[in-house]
Chain A
């Protein structure tokens, strides 16, 4: 039986809806996602909740999953994600190729970083397999795959030395920020859009804060004062975002990445603002569950089928971009595209739930 609506699935569903919309750049609905008034966006939420969910696999402290089973299950999950990524990337390349033929426009391939697949196929396919070549807007799953391949080590380190995980993760994040350490892309020249060595910090924070011991226990004990601290910070961040104010990165002290706002490296301002926003937003779940049960149920439906919804959503947002290019975006057109896309996502999640009940 599918699990009932809960806060984690609700917020994951919320993130999935926002990712779908934000992956259609230029759509009028983009401005209604929370990145409009926040330094962070749904990517942080998605990765943080992925770490949170790791606890379900690890098991409760008094009844932990056996070590071998834990490792096998996490690697299997990582393999499944990798396979899912490969499938949607191949489907995306086919969609782009069809789009470029039908619209007689090879720029579609360039637009989504797919041209190398056709102009340098040998290198590009090696890059696709080893995740060093990523299509535009298909860069979250490679991060997620790396994090899941890391997750057995994270879980085992935590099981052996619980208090060592946070300093180890924060230390790696800090070193990579200071040293600007990241993964290169190949054959196209550049860097991964999401640096896994930095983003592992959001994943580990999600894992630790979900627990009722350690940092999670401390946050729960102090959640009210944390929310009071969060309020002015979030308000200032919203004002800064709204007004376009930001610290000139060149004026920031060195190492620059410690002081600027950058998504690729998950800089401190981003993760800090996200954590405070999460502390504030967490108060909303109970009222929503009580007063808007259909909304809570709908987003939880998406959240508990997250991989399927994410994969379909990625392809739908690609299709939406191609359609917007072909027919040109307008308020009505964008609304129809987003509404149809969401309808397909909810239908797919409902079918997956139905299938789960039949088993």
Chain B
């Protein structure tokens, strides 16, 4: 398991290295996405999604991102946590860009509390973009999806009014919840509000589902893959790529989405 985790990390490092080669050019060509992460992990159009991020990057050469939702294990892990990967990814891709990532995730925090936290942390750190993992805790706590949808909608609008971009990171995947009505209703609610408000959504559930399918047919991939870690890596991949693409307001189709063999 460790060996393959290292392989995944190596794959990511290779990707970052490739970006590094392009750093400083007008438009970086993104490295191939690892085959395990090749499912459509993004819902929305990143090319038009980040006007405030783009402005911050061009005016200040610095972007501040605020991460809200589940708390994540920090840099004690080899390679860092997935937000760390995003930070490194962007800084390598855009030479001279300073990415400041403020993590204020609280595991189990409901959307209503997360919304309050977003407003407060916005005042504290003035972010250019908010990464909001939302929905899982609400679904687990049995909150009415309509209530969560309304909170997410009003918070997205508040962020837009304050010239802050937002990326929603959808619900987690676990096989036992595949047929769970309330969980799937919450998933749809988050998806609907993201679509209606025109914000990017990282399709965490679908990515997890694909990885789960791959894990059940080991012949398709290398054996002993650590799919748990890979799920986070894929999420980071999709998030970073969406941001990178959005920042250039132009998308190089084909390279980004086409599944490629994993680096060994």
A residues neighboring B (CB under 8 Å): 25-26, 103-108, 110-113, 115-116, 119-120, 123-124, 136-137, 180, 185-191, 193, 248-250, 252, 256-257, 260, 262, 321, 324-325, 328-329
Q: For the complex, what is the distance from the CA of A110 to the CA of B107, rounded to whole Å?
A: 7
- Do A188 and B71 touch across chains, with their CB atoms under 8 A apart? yes
Top 9 closest A-B pairs, CB basis?
Answer: A113-B107, A249-B123, A136-B108, A26-B141, A188-B71, A189-B103, A329-B142, A189-B74, A256-B123
- Chain B: how many interface residues by the 8 Å CB criterion? 35
Q: For the complex, what is the distance from the CA of A191 to the CA of B106, rounded to whole Å?
A: 9
- Do A249 and B76 touch across chains, with their CB atoms under 8 A apart? no
Given contacts A111-B107, A111-B137, A325-B142, contact A189 B72 (CB under 8 A): yes
- Do A25 and B141 touch across chains, with their CB atoms under 8 A apart? yes
Q: For the complex, what is the distance from the CA of A124 to the CA of B73, rounded to whole Å?
A: 9
Given contacts A104-B175, A107-B172, contact A119 B228 (CB under 8 A): yes
- Do B141 and A186 touch across chains, with their CB atoms under 8 A apart? no
Find the residue from A25, A185, A186 having the highest chain B CB count within 10 A: A25
- Which residues on A sit within 8 Å (CB–CB) of B252? none
A sample of 6 inter-chain contacts (CB < 8 A) reads A104-B176, A107-B177, A186-B74, A186-B76, A250-B122, A324-B142
Q: Is B3 an interface residue (CB 8 A)?
A: no
Q: Is B77 an interface residue (CB 8 A)?
A: yes
Given contacts A116-B73, A188-B71, A328-B142, contact A105 B105 (CB under 8 A): no
Q: Is B120 an interface residue (CB 8 A)?
A: yes
- Which residues on B sit within 8 Å (CB–CB) of A329? 141-142
- Do A190 and B103 touch across chains, with their CB atoms under 8 A apart? yes
Find the residue from B110, B119, B136 having the highest chain A CB count within 10 A: B119
- Which residues on A sit within 8 Å (CB–CB) of B137? 111
- Do A111 and B136 touch across chains, with their CB atoms under 8 A apart? yes
Q: For the complex, what is the distance from the CA of A189 to the CA of B104, rounded to whole Å?
A: 7
Give me 4 other A-B pairs in contact (C-beta within 8 A), A25-B108, A187-B74, A256-B120 excluded.
A105-B177, A110-B172, A189-B71, A190-B103
B180 CB to nearest A CB, Å: 9
- Which residues on A sit within 8 Å (CB–CB) of B176? 103-105
- Do A187 and B76 touch across chains, with their CB atoms under 8 A apart? yes
Q: Which residue of A lies closest to B175 (CB)?
A: A104
> Which B residues from 80 to 127 make CB contacts under 8 A with A?
81, 83, 103-108, 110, 119-120, 122-124
- Do A248 and B119 touch across chains, with their CB atoms under 8 A apart? yes
Selected from A124, A180, A248, the residue in CB contact (under 8 A) with B124 is: A180
Given contacts A104-B176, A188-B105, A189-B105, contact A250 B123 (CB under 8 A): yes
Q: Is B52 an interface residue (CB 8 A)?
A: no
Q: For the complex, what is the distance from the CA of A25 to the CA of B123, rounded to whole Å?
A: 26
Q: Which residue of B lies closest to A248 (CB)?
A: B119
- Do B71 and A185 touch across chains, with their CB atoms under 8 A apart? yes
Q: Is B51 an interface residue (CB 8 A)?
A: no
Q: For the complex, what is the distance from the CA of A197 to the CA of B104, rounded to whole Å?
A: 18
- Do A119 and B73 touch across chains, with their CB atoms under 8 A apart? yes
Q: Is B20 an interface residue (CB 8 A)?
A: no
- Do B120 and A262 touch across chains, with their CB atoms under 8 A apart? yes
Given contacts A193-B106, A250-B162, A252-B123, contact A188 B174 (CB under 8 A): no
- Do A106 and B174 touch across chains, with their CB atoms under 8 A apart? yes
- Do B174 and A112 touch across chains, with their CB atoms under 8 A apart? no
- Which residues on A sit within 8 Å (CB–CB) of B122? 249-250
Given contacts A103-B176, A329-B142, contact A123 B73 (CB under 8 A): yes
Q: Which residue of A lies closest to B110 (CB)?
A: A25
Q: For the complex, what is the distance from the CA of A257 to the CA of B121, rounded to whole Å?
A: 10
- Which residues on A sit within 8 Å (CB–CB) of B242? none
Q: Is B70 an interface residue (CB 8 A)?
A: yes
Q: For the complex, what is the distance from the CA of A180 to the CA of B162, rounded to whole Å?
A: 22
Q: Which residue of B lies closest to A324 (CB)?
A: B142
- Do A249 and B120 touch across chains, with their CB atoms under 8 A apart? yes
